[in-house]
Chains A and B, each alone.
Chain A
Amino acid sequence: MNAIEIRNLTKSFEGQVVLSNVNMTVKQGEIYAFLGANGAGKSTLMKLLFDILKPDEGSISLFSEQVAKKGYNRIFSQIGSIIETPVHYKHLTAIENLQIHCDYVGVHLRQEIPHVLELVGLHDVKDKRVGEFSLGMKQRLALARAFIAKPKLLVLDEPINGLDPMGIGDIRDLLLTVNKEFGTAIFISSHIISEIEKIADTIGIIDQGVMLIQKPLEEIQKGNADLEEYFRHVVIGGRENV
């Protein structure tokens, strides 16, 4: 069973195509890095996964369950996410934000709150209002929220944006731990390619709404190619072919 299966997905805004006939498979337990320049269509695709945007054509399945275009998607209980930016209730403290999250997804998870706060290094500021948090702290809190239910899939849109080098290292270790210990599939987008190279199993490159390539990182590295170099090569090559 695949964690994510996307078939012939097309999406346009006011006549402008932002995703064109995208096919993609994220296998259970793998870390899939989704690379692309700004405006390539990464966040749009992630929003389509959660029915925040409606596809023009094509289908999306999460763990073999088709994402319903309306109403209730039970499978979302198995998915932790950060979509676009780390959003929180600014008037609430870190711990209150997590408590509200648990109220929505399962009150029994409240006992995990101290543990995840410790894990993302926010235990000392748990009673501080999120409105006073830096971007990096908000990212950490969003990750804590995404992890808390030990989901089968993490969908993370630029999760290391705004983090300092120490923070990036911590989050990298955390993602690897979650992936190894719980077999959580991770679908991650980031511009920090050097970090992606350290954790990804599979690389998907999208440009101007077109999926250019999906390959195991190992295969890319076999040719002694540096991922950043490879990314530039694929994107430029893709544009020249258009």
Chain B
Amino acid sequence: MFELIKIDWKKYNLKRIPLYFILIYVIVAGMTYSVLNLLGGVLIDNASAVIDLLLKTIFLIVESVLITTIVISEFKDKTILLLYSYPISKQKLIIAKVLLVVLLSLAGILCGQVFLNLMFFGLHKFIPDIRFSITPAEIFSYGFTSVMVVFLGLLPMCIGLVKYSTVATMVTSIIILLVGSNSGLGMDNLIGNSLFTITLGIIGLAATIYSINNLLNRDMKV
């Protein structure tokens, strides 16, 4: 499995991914600072909550881009015909791809949570305008719901795999993002709600298992 993941890593030239993630963190840091300046004390009053919301929404989109690149493109470009002619379990080929998407998204979102929270924890010591507080329960909640958001982010893949469509994948991701972020920056957005993310995370995971199973048992009409 690790070998298959390594081949996909190489095939899609993903070695630049850490750089893209750092760029995302810089953008999220800038946006967090701006949001706190603009809305501080009105809608939201804590940097860690802003970081959590921004990271989750941005990485939902990043995950769908990874899905279209690593999974859907193989079907759309018919290269799956080639992969299926190899003496390798088809199940393993597909699972390796999904695992790569999940691992990259998880790494991106969790590293972002750690890096940005540490950054704003440090900044708020020197800049009194920056309000920052975090409890151990919140640390656990941010971490756990981040994992669930990554599972939720697999839902667009299940939709995209029906017709091997990159557009369907991206549109589904944007719909989830719009519903999840509730177009708001307050604490009442759905994506910050543990129950919502856990429920949809489980649904995302179940749908993925169903989708892979279905893919392996039906005709490959590419």
A103 to B90, CA, bound (A): 16
Contacting residues, chain A, for B90 (C-beta < 8 A)? 51, 70-71
Known: A53-B220, A70-B216, A70-B217. A87 touches B81 (CB 8 A): yes
A61 within 8 A of B: no
Are B10 and A100 in contact, with the CB atoms below 8 A?
yes
Chain B contact residue count (CB 8 A cutoff): 25
B218 within 8 A of A: yes
Total CB contacts across the A-B interface at under 8 A = 68
A22 within 8 A of B: no
Are A103 and B10 in contact, with the CB atoms below 8 A?
yes
Known: A54-B219, A100-B7. A81 touches B89 (CB 8 A): no
A204 to B201, CA, bound (A): 53
Are A74 and B84 in contact, with the CB atoms below 8 A?
no
**Nearest CB of A to B210, in Å:** 16
Which residue of B81, B88, B217, B219 is within 8 Å of A72 (Cβ)?
B88
Are A77 and B87 in contact, with the CB atoms below 8 A?
yes
A79 to B82, CA, bound (A): 12
B86 within 8 A of A: yes
Chain A contact residue count (CB 8 A cutoff): 31
Are B10 and A76 in contact, with the CB atoms below 8 A?
no
Are B85 and A53 in contact, with the CB atoms below 8 A?
no
Which residue of B7, B84, B88 is within 8 Å of A52 (Cβ)?
B84
Are A76 and B220 in contact, with the CB atoms below 8 A?
no
Contacting residues, chain A, for B92 (C-beta < 8 A)? 72
Contacting residues, chain A, for B82 (C-beta < 8 A)? 83, 87, 101
Across the interface, name the chain B residue whose C-beta is closest to A78: B87
A50 within 8 A of B: yes
Q: Mark B180-209, 1 if CB is under 8 A from A, else 0.
A: 000000000000000000000000000000
A51 to B81, CA, bound (A): 10
B125 within 8 A of A: no
Across the interface, name the chain A residue whose C-beta is closest to B90: A71
Are B11 and A89 in contact, with the CB atoms below 8 A?
yes
A83 to B85, CA, bound (A): 9
Are A71 and B220 in contact, with the CB atoms below 8 A?
no
A76 to B79, CA, bound (A): 16
Are B85 and A81 in contact, with the CB atoms below 8 A?
yes
Known: A51-B90, A52-B220. A85 touches B78 (CB 8 A): yes
Q: Mark A66-95, 1 if CB is under 8 A from B, else 0.
A: 000011111111010101110111111000
Are B7 and A87 in contact, with the CB atoms below 8 A?
no
Known: A52-B220, A72-B87, A104-B88. A92 touches B11 (CB 8 A): yes
The A-contacting residues of B in range 61-109, CB under 8 angstroms, are 77-79, 81-92
Contacting residues, chain A, for B86 (C-beta < 8 A)? 76, 104-105
**Nearest CB of B to A94, in Å:** 15
Binding site for B on A (CB under 8 A): 13, 47, 50-54, 70-77, 79, 81, 83-85, 87-92, 100-101, 103-105
Query: What are 21 A-B contacts with C-beta separation under 8 Å?
Result: A50-B85, A51-B84, A52-B84, A70-B91, A71-B90, A71-B91, A74-B87, A76-B85, A76-B87, A77-B87, A83-B81, A85-B78, A87-B77, A87-B78, A89-B11, A90-B77, A91-B13, A100-B7, A103-B3, A104-B83, A105-B86
Binding site for A on B (CB under 8 A): 3, 7, 10-11, 13, 77-79, 81-92, 216-220
